[in-house]
């Protein structure tokens, strides 16, 4: 019965997202989702604020599907209702973990940090979304980077591994520091200190300092990391001396959640010296680079066009 309901919902949602659902099917989805959401017994202490959770789930769906221009109001309600349905059946959480109250931490256009109950520190880039339990319980410390970029400083606990889900990959550590960069098309894990295990689609890689894992096109690959990325740029001022512009741009993309578009990519090899204060607005940094290179930077939302 559960499989039949799940299949029917997936079928209707898929048709809706492909804009092939009839008006009757759209109404059926909306009415079902709202009814399930409103009649579900939501435990605020266990699950957190229902409106906030449903909105965060919806944002996660938008991020993964790229359907930002198409607003489907039933999605956030049906996702939240399905979450409760699975919890009630015991499918979602293992015994001993269900009592973990899930919280969310999100940023707008400014990076922020948070300290978890085990002492671990998480630094989120702009426009990122992170989910974590109020108190860790069970054998593993589980969290999720749902959207964006983050730097992790994990408190050591050999008996309770720290596991981060980000898209389709899982990153497992005992106590170390590393970056995770999550986008719609790929995910990168860059190790700054210690040892990290990354798994995805049956593939597994162990990483140490100066290495990174790239998951793209359903393939997990080990690569050498750029040395300029082996710092926590969220809490420290950054002094880049005679650094290729391409590496500077990479840091700016991660820190400010923007995309650079160049008319002439040959300038990316040019060495520049830039000082980035930890709380500096992006515009200030771009002014520095403009003064050095005479390049023009035009910011359009999350896109920076360079000519």
* Geometric angle at alpha carbon 240, from 237 and 246, rounded to 5°: 120
Asked if CATH classification 3.40.640.10 holds for the domain at 102-229, the reply, yes or no, is no
pLDDT level of residue 239 (50, 70, 90 thresholds): confident
Task: Determine the Cα–Cα distance for residues 228 and 20; give it in Å rounded to an integer.
Answer: 47
Average pLDDT over residues 279-306: 90
What end-to-end distance do the CA atoms of the chain give, in Å?
59
CATH of 238-306, one of 3.30.310.160, 3.40.50.720, 3.90.550.10, 3.55.50.30: 3.55.50.30
Task: Determine the Cα–Cα distance for residues 220 and 205; give it in Å rounded to an integer.
Answer: 8
Dump the DSSP string for 52-117.
Answer: HHHHHHHHHHHHHH--TTS--THHHHHHHHHHHHHHHHTSSS-TTTTTPPEEEEE-SSS-EEEE-T
What are the beta bridge partners of residue 216?
186, 219
What are the beta bridge partners of residue 196?
207
Say what percent of the chain tops pLDDT 70: 75
Give residue-wise pLDDT tens across range 136-160: 988 999 999 999 999 999 999 999 9
Please check the confidence at residue 48 and state whether its pLDDT lies above 90.
Answer: no
Residue-level pLDDT at 214:
96
β-pairing, 303-306 vs 271-276, is: unpaired
Task: Determine the Cα–Cα distance for residues 67 and 19; give it in Å rounded to an integer.
Answer: 11
What are the beta bridge partners of residue 197?
172, 206
Q: Where in the chain is the domain with CATH 2.60.120.1440?
A: 102-229
Task: Determine the Cα–Cα distance for residues 230 and 247; give it in Å rounded to an integer.
Answer: 12
Is the distance from CB of 138 to CB of 156 less than 8 angstroms? no
Give residue-wise pLDDT tens across range 106-140: 988 778 899 999 999 999 988 899 999 999 988 99
- Of 30-44, 71-85, 235-249, least confident by mean pLDDT is 71-85
pLDDT level of residue 90 (50, 70, 90 thresholds): very low
Q: Where in the chain is the domain with CATH 3.55.50.30?
A: 238-306
What is the distance, to the nearest Å, from the Cα of residue 82 to the centroid of all Cα atoms in its chain? 22
pLDDT level of residue 238 (50, 70, 90 thresholds): confident
Mean pLDDT of the chain: 81
pTM for this entry:
0.66
Average pLDDT over residues 51-66: 60
Give residue-wise pLDDT tens across range 20-35: 878 888 777 777 767 7
Task: Determine the Cα–Cα distance for residues 160 and 286; give it in Å rounded to an integer.
Answer: 43
Helix/strand/coil percentages in the chain, nearest 5 = 35, 35, 35
């Amino acid at each position: 019965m559960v499989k039949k309901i799940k299949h029917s919902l997936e079928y209707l949602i898929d048709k809706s997202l492909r804009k092939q659902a009839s008006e009757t099917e759209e109404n059926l989805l909306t009415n079902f989702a709202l009814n399930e959401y409103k009649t579900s017994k939501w435990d605020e202490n266990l699950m957190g604020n229902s409106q906030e959770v449903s909105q965060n789930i919806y944002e996660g769906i938008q991020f993964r599907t790229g359907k930002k221009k198409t607003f489907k109001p039933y999605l956030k309600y049906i996702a939240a209702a399905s979450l409760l349905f699975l919890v009630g059946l015991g499918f979602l959480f293992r015994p001993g973990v269900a009592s973990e109250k899930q919280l969310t931490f999100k940023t707008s256009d400014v990076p922020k940090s948070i300290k978890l109950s085990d002492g671990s520190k998480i630094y989120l880039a702009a426009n990122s979304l992170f989910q974590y339990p109020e108190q860790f319980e069970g054998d593993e410390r589980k969290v999720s980077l749902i959207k964006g970029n983050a730097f992790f400083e994990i408190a050591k606990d050999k008996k309770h591994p720290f596991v981060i889900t980000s898209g389709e990959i899982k990153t497992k550590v005992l106590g170390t520091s590393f970056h995770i960069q999550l986008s719609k098309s790929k995910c990168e894990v860059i190790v700054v200190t210690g040892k990290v295990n990354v798994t995805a689609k049956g593939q597994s890689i162990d990483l140490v300092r100066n290495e990174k894992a790239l998951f793209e096109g359903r393939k997990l690959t080990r690569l050498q990391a750029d040395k300029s990325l082996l710092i926590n740029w969220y809490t420290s001022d950054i002094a880049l001396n005679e650094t290729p512009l391409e590496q500077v741009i990479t840091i700016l993309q991660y820190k400010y959640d923007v995309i650079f578009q160049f008319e002439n990519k040959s300038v990316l090899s040019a060495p520049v010296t830039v000082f980035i204060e930890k709380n500096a607005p992006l515009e200030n940094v771009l002014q520095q680079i403009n003064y050095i290179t005479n390049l023009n930077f035009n910011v359009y939302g999350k896109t920076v066009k360079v000519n």
